[in-house]
């Protein structure tokens, strides 16, 4: 790992040393920046996003972390002694840092599989309905007549676009939480 303090980080963030710093950080498993200003934190996250084209996750617990959380792809706020500013600016909120692992490995995996299944479902739903309308137009000689009343179309879309997301969101868990916590590599395999 690499530990860098705020004064050193200030020198590193200049244009001449950015590439060297990024090459060094790519070879490390973890990089910890301590005693950094809020501006340095946000600039560092921007630098990693733009130069390395990497997804970024920022975790913070106070008002000094808000800019970093907002710049990152995903922001996690920890509610605690420093107030609720980080939580209000974040995408996800947890009460303690130890819950971050479960948020990423369990809920992140479930959310990813639910979203991919729902995208496939919406493609299927729309293709099925448009295919039905297409073949109906052959039957009626492309006259443009409507196959169904508008209230049936509205009911169809309401029913088939609201109920499945609720069911998937509540019930769809392809792997149990215990297995996901024991085998963190399942998260990478699901991507």
Number of other CB atoms surrounding residue 161 within 10 Å: 14
**Per residue in 25-59, is it b (16+ CB within 10 Å) or e — as a string?**
beeeeeeebeebeeebbbbbbbbbeeeeeeebbbb
DSSP letters for the chain: -EEEEHHHHHHHTSHHHHHHHHHHHHT-S-EEEES--HHHHHHHHHHHHHHH----EEEE-SGGGHHHHHHSSEEEEE-BTTBSHHHHHSSEEESSGGGHHHIIIIIHHHHHHHHHHHHHHHHHHHHHHHHHHHHHHHHTTT----SS-HHHHHHHHHHHHHHHHHHHHHH--SS-HHHHHH-THHHHHH-
For residue 32, what pLDDT is reported?
80
Per-residue pLDDT of the chain (191 residues; tens, 9 = 90+): 778 888 888 888 877 888 888 888 888 877 788 888 989 889 888 988 988 888 888 999 888 899 999 999 999 999 877 778 889 999 999 999 899 999 988 988 888 888 888 888 889 888 988 888 888 888 888 887 777 788 888 888 888 888 888 888 788 888 888 998 988 888 777 66
Q: Quick one: 2-95 is in which CATH superfamily?
A: HAD superfamily/HAD-like (3.40.50.1000)
Q: For the chain, what are the domain ranges?
A: 2-95, 100-190
| Residues 144, 150, 154, 156, Cα dihedral to 10° | -70
Number of other CB atoms surrounding residue 139 within 10 Å: 10
Q: Give 153's Cβ-side CA count (13 Å radius).
A: 10
pTM over 0.95: no
């Amino acid at each position: 790992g690499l530990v860098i303090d705020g004064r050193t980080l200030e020198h590193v963030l200049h244009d001449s040393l950015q590439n060297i710093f990024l090459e060094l950080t790519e070879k490390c498993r973890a990089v910890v920046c301590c005693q950094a200003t809020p501006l340095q934190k946000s600039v560092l996250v921007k630098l990693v996003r733009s130069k390395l084209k990497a997804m970024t996750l920022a975790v913070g617990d106070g008002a000094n972390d808000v800019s970093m959380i907002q710049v990152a792809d995903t922001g996690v706020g920890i509610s605690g002694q420093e107030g609720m500013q980080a939580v209000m600016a974040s995408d996800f909120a947890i009460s303690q840092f130890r819950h971050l692992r479960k948020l990423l490995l369990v809920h992140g995996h479930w959310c990813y599989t639910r979203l991919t299944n729902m995208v496939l479902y919406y493609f299927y739903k729309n293709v099925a309905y448009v295919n039905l309308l297409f073949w109906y137009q052959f039957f009626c000689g492309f006259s443009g007549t409507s196959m169904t009343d508008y209230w049936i179309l509205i009911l169809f879309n309401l029913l088939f676009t609201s109920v499945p997301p609720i069911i998937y969101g509540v019930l769809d868990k392809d792997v149990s939480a215990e297995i996901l916590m024991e085998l963190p590599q399942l998260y990478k395999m699901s991507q």
